Amino acid sequence: MFSKLSVVVASALLTLAAAIPNTTPPVTTPTSPQCCASVVPASNRGAGIVAALLGLDISGLLVDVGLSCSPITVLGNNCGGTTVTCDAPDKEWGGLIAINCIPITL
């Protein structure tokens, strides 16, 4: 039963991803401090899947991207992930991905 459900969910997500036109996000100077669950190259398969579901084409980007990010608004915020500075992510990305992430060393 679980495998049937996962196939249905995967099919629905792929259909949704195919219906959303892919756009390449602009890469600008990082200005937004973020706490991300992980930071990977844009060429990472998982990052590509997340980006595709959001209608983004990051395949040609040569930068790191953050996954599952939230803005750091208070100095000393306890980030359980990786603290980085990224391009300010668009609201429609819902914190799922941030582009051009550079580590912050404290």
Instruction: Write the pLDDT tens digit of every residue in 20-78.
Output: 556 666 676 787 888 899 999 999 999 999 888 888 888 888 999 999 888 887 766 67
Q: Which two tokens stand for residue 88?
A: 């300010």
Number of domains in the chain: 1
Confidence of residue 1 (pLDDT cuts 50, 70, 90): very low
Rg value, the chain, Cα: 15
Confidence check: pLDDT of 8 > 50: no
The answer on pLDDT for 99 being more than 50 is: yes
Give Cα 100 to chain centroid, integer Å.
Answer: 10
* Residue 41, pLDDT score: 95
What integer pLDDT is reported at residue 7 of this predicted model?
46
In terms of residue numbers, what domain contains 37? Answer: 2-103
